[in-house]
Amino acid sequence: MITDVKTTLPRGLGNKDIPALRARYGSNVFTKKKRYGLLIMLRHILAEPMFILLLFATGIYFLLGATAEATMMLAAITMIAGISLYEEARSENALKALRQYSTPLTTVIRDGREATIPSAELVPGDIILLHEGDMVPADATVVSANDLTANESIITGEAYPVTKNNTDAPLLFQGATIHSGACMAKITATGDETTLGKLGKHITDPVTEQTLLQKQTKVFVRQLATFGILGCIAIFTVNFIQTRDWASSLILGLTLAMAAIPEEIPVSFSSFMALGAYHMSRMGIIPRQPQIVENLGAANIICFDKTGTLTENRMKVVTLYDARADKVYDMSGLPPGLDSRLLFIAALASERQPFDHMEKAIMEAFDNNNAASRELPTLVHEYALEGTPPMMTHVYHWEDTTLAAGKGAIERIMRVCHTDPLTADRISRLAEEMGKQGHRVLGVASATGNDHDMPSSQDAWNWELEGLVAFYDPPRLSAREVIAKIRDAGIRPMLLTGDHAATAAYIASQTGILFGHPVSGEDVMKMTPADLRLTVRQESLFVRMFPEAKRKVIEALKAGGGIVAMTGDGVNDGPAIKAANIGIAMGKKGTEIARQAADLIITDDNLAMIPTAIEQGRKIYSNLKKAIRYIISIHIPIILIAVSPLLLQWKYVNIFSPIHVIFLELIMGPTCSLFYQQEPVESNIMSLPPRKVTTRLFTTQEMIISIIQGLVISSSILLLYAIYMRDHDIAYTRTMVFITLIVSNIFLTFTNRSFTATLRETFRYRNSLTPYILIISVAFLIAIEAIPGIRNIFALSVLSVKDMLICLLTAGCAVAWFEVYKKLRARH
């Protein structure tokens, strides 16, 4: 016999007892090897190729007796290390906050009251309540249960759920999931003392694999670093052969290597992703891994579950069809005090303490419309929800006999009742009419028998049709607008639901999902992979879907080149959510298993957050690409100015030293990591089609434009270089080149805020760092010209007003062409 999960709540532990228990047992978390965050960050920084080059260059300066230069290099190293530590700390803090946002919660009974607490705060002796879809947060024993099965595959490897109760199978293991039913359980072990903890398995931290973008940036950085190292060797060799001066040759080679290595890119990537994910979590959109924002910008298909996602999940019984009386009743017009046998049988087929929204609606309708004197009988056996389409059965002692009450999909109920074809056709048409009004319809049946000869299968009872129960779960008010936004963004919406075709078609039409012919889950399972790939390209409405069928549709969409998001909130959505490129779970009403399978959690179940999440993902990806393209464009002139004079055998072959390059790195790092990170969403970002996922980081056109930007700046500065070295000394020539490059960098920073909007438009963008970038840049230009100590460190001269204006004009022209290009392109 199975008892109710809760008739009256036990007292549970007292809140006053918790501190002592926490001190004794610790937190309900797995002990990890202690990590010293600051030391790890420093180790990462010290291992960077750029940092090694800086230290090497500083050592050479000390060997040469150039104390001022060496001191300057040490100061620069300290500043770079400080900036890197700051960025690492910001990213780490964002990740910590993100983990706190996505911490699993558990319903616990303390001092006789229910409370929801983080699972990490559980202690042995706590009484917890678990429902279908919840993850077991610690080892426990069942106190009472209803229809309880658990999936313990994480412990046993067995994929099928096992029955649990408070007698012969009371043990629940941490990491298992409640497959069906509900229970009250008492915690017996937490943290490392659980069975899972002793096995050394961790369940709370998602597995982080390198994403495509991470791999692309890593390859890109490695290629440039390789070029820098090889270039360093080549420049050193050529210069040494010509001059026999190993020190200046090595300095020149190091300058090129430092100019070529774009160490800002990895820092920018981790910073953009971590902080972007954190800001999204503050909006109520929690990415369980920061890298998921990469896929958000590329999503081109979104598959919706119906109940609780497109609908409000507020089930209400609206219509009854009594098969015995052959009458249809509108619940709003039921005769007062009607003692409905149909509702009675439907209530018997439901849990006493329901957790399913349809069962809650049945029990509410039963309580409101049946005679108060009718009591529910004693439960003696139950058959779990199973089969395709599904059905469930409860068996009771009732008036000297055994009564079986079953409910499930109409097709299954009519099949087990052996309904004759004419009646089956008439009832199917009636159910379809209900479905066309957006109603979800369940069949209800009863049977009598002998509890001493209980059938092994629920289908084997001698069933008699009792009738149909129709529910209405209204579409969310925002659903149609959300679907329209998704479609405008070039993303195809689809509906995957376990509902009847007519019901699903009604919801699809009400929310704006375009569809042709509904495809059933059984049809999906019969199709070959090729046929299924063709079907999912053509159809957008899939009905009577069960977990494996949903997963197969997701896999077929991905196989056809789709970047697929799947939304859902139930146990049955878990496999599909996990299979999707982007799994989205509703965090408020959704099950824990759906949340754990998801990549994104919408905390308040607000459907409008889905296009917002896509917009934020596109924004973060777009701004990251702006930062990387800026790095490419500005590195080209630094490299060419370092190497061209030597290759062309100019008068001054070593115009830049590591000090100049490291200063430019100090400017570029914060610009791409901080400034571009703060950029707002561009107005047209949600009217653009999703980006295509390719093996290349940039399209050919994007790369060409960034390279041209770098080459035009390089050509302009090298032209000044060539002109001024004829009649001026190296210090004056260096000053012209250095200041023009700095001003070009400022202009490039602002023109690359958008690759479509002009400066006139982008200056309206709200970025809190804009005035600081301008003020600091102008202040430095004044400082290197007006303060002799700084000017001497950089080996510069004081420019005339005329030459300063030439620097400004050259830099402006070197960048302004792109503004003209954007304007001309916009006209066409």
Question: Does residue 41 fall inside a structural domain?
Answer: no
Instruction: Supply the CATH number for residue 219's domain.
Output: 1.20.1110.10
Position 461 scores a pLDDT of 92
| Residue 709 or residue 262, greater confidence | 709
Burial of 675 (0-12, 13-18, 19+ CB in 10 A): buried
Residue 398: beta bridge partners? 401
CA–CA separation, 394 and 684 (whole Å): 56
Dihedral (Cα; 255, 256, 261, 262), 10-degree rounding: 80
Condensed to tens digits (0 to 9), the pLDDT of residues 386-405 reads 887 889 999 998 878 889 99
- Highest average pLDDT, of 234-248, 331-345, 410-424, 580-594, comes from 410-424
Give me the mean pLDDT over the 539-562 stretch. Answer: 91
Lowest-pLDDT range of 24-33, 429-438, 638-647: 24-33
Instruction: Supply the CATH number for residue 26's domain.
Output: 2.70.150.10
Q: How confident is the model at residue 408 (pLDDT cuts 50, 70, 90)?
A: very high
- The verdict on 762 and 677 lying in the same domain is yes
Position 488 scores a pLDDT of 92
Task: Give the end of a domain, one of 420, 452, 470.
Answer: 470
Query: 632 CB contacts (<8 Å, ≥6 apart)?
Result: 262, 703, 706, 707, 710
- The verdict on 356 and 428 lying in the same domain is yes
Position 393 scores a pLDDT of 92
Helical (H) or strand (E) element with 681: none
Lowest-pLDDT range of 275-289, 584-598, 777-791: 584-598
Residue with tokens 């210090």: 731
CA–CA separation, 631 and 623 (whole Å): 12
- The verdict on 268 and 337 lying in the same domain is no
Question: Does residue 6 fall inside a structural domain?
Answer: no
Position 659 scores a pLDDT of 73
Instruction: Supply the CATH number for residue 450's domain.
Output: 3.40.1110.10
Condensed to tens digits (0 to 9), the pLDDT of residues 598-652 reads 788 887 778 888 898 888 888 888 888 888 888 888 888 888 887 788 778 888 8
- The verdict on 442 and 510 lying in the same domain is no
| Residue 688 or residue 697, greater confidence | 688
- The verdict on 165 and 265 lying in the same domain is no
DSSP secondary structure, 28-93, as one string: SS-------HHHHHHHHHHTSHHHHHHHHHHHHHHHTT-HHHHHHHHHHHHHHHHHHHHHHHHHHH
Instruction: Supply the CATH number for residue 533's domain.
Output: 3.40.50.1000
Position 440 scores a pLDDT of 87
CA–CA separation, 255 and 253 (whole Å): 5
Give me the mean pLDDT over the 711-735 stretch. Answer: 93
Question: Does residue 534 fall inside a structural domain?
Answer: yes
| Residue 640 or residue 804, greater confidence | 804
| Residue 662 or residue 128, greater confidence | 128
Question: Does residue 80 fall inside a structural domain?
Answer: no
Q: How many domains does the chain have?
A: 4
Helical (H) or strand (E) element with 305: none
Task: Give the end of a domain, one of 470, 485, 518.
Answer: 470
Lowest-pLDDT range of 106-115, 455-464, 596-605: 596-605
Residue 494: beta bridge partners? 303
Question: Does residue 75 fall inside a structural domain?
Answer: no
Residue with tokens 């077991």: 136
Position 58 scores a pLDDT of 67
pLDDT at 422 exceeding the cut of 70: yes
Position 62 scores a pLDDT of 66
Condensed to tens digits (0 to 9), the pLDDT of residues 285-313 reads 878 776 777 778 788 999 998 777 788 87
- Highest average pLDDT, of 239-253, 406-420, 561-575, comes from 406-420
pTM over 0.85: no
| Residue 456 or residue 308, greater confidence | 456
- The verdict on 289 and 277 lying in the same domain is no
CA–CA separation, 761 and 24 (whole Å): 62
Q: How confident is the model at residue 266 (pLDDT cuts 50, 70, 90)?
A: low
Distances, alpha carbon 69 to alpha carbons 75, 239, 657, 679, 790, in Å: 10, 21, 10, 36, 11
Lowest-pLDDT range of 450-459, 527-536, 556-565: 450-459
Condensed to tens digits (0 to 9), the pLDDT of residues 41-88 reads 566 555 555 566 666 666 666 665 656 656 766 666 676 566 556 655
Lowest-pLDDT range of 174-188, 367-381, 804-818: 367-381
Q: For the chain, give the percent of residues with pLDDT over 70.
A: 78
CA–CA separation, 116 and 137 (whole Å): 13
- The verdict on 490 and 361 lying in the same domain is no
pLDDT at 6 exceeding the cut of 50: no
pLDDT at 694 exceeding the cut of 80: no
pLDDT at 273 exceeding the cut of 80: no
Position 591 scores a pLDDT of 65
Contact 173, 195 (CB under 8 A): yes
pLDDT at 658 exceeding the cut of 50: yes
Full domain range(s) for residue 735: 213-281+613-827
Position 671 scores a pLDDT of 67
Distances, alpha carbon 324 to alpha carbons 178, 327, 713, in Å: 37, 8, 86
pLDDT at 206 exceeding the cut of 50: no
| Residue 806 or residue 59, greater confidence | 806
Q: How confident is the model at residue 491 (pLDDT cuts 50, 70, 90)?
A: very high
Q: How confident is the model at residue 468 (pLDDT cuts 50, 70, 90)?
A: very high
- The verdict on 291 and 353 lying in the same domain is no
Residue with tokens 């209980």: 454
- The verdict on 634 and 724 lying in the same domain is yes
Task: Give the end of a domain, one of 199, 222, 246.
Answer: 199
Q: How confident is the model at residue 592 (pLDDT cuts 50, 70, 90)?
A: low
- The verdict on 244 and 121 lying in the same domain is no
pLDDT at 494 exceeding the cut of 90: yes
Q: How confident is the model at residue 412 (pLDDT cuts 50, 70, 90)?
A: very high
| Residue 59 or residue 501, greater confidence | 501
Give me the mean pLDDT over the 4-14 stretch. Answer: 67
pLDDT at 814 exceeding the cut of 80: yes
Residue at 123: amino acid letter:
V
- The verdict on 769 and 630 lying in the same domain is yes
Question: Does residue 84 fall inside a structural domain?
Answer: no
Position 397 scores a pLDDT of 86
Query: 472 CB contacts (<8 Å, ≥6 apart)?
Result: 315, 316, 318, 437, 438, 439, 440
- The verdict on 733 and 781 lying in the same domain is yes
CA 524 from centre of chain: 28
Question: Does residue 83 fall inside a structural domain?
Answer: no
Position 54 scores a pLDDT of 60
Question: Does residue 656 fall inside a structural domain?
Answer: yes
Position 492 scores a pLDDT of 94
CA triple 29-34-40, angle to 5 deg: 130
Would you call the peptide bond into 529 cis, given omega within 30 degrees of 0 as the criterion? no
Position 259 scores a pLDDT of 63
Least Cα distance to 575 among 679, 460, 496 occurs for 496
Position 84 scores a pLDDT of 59
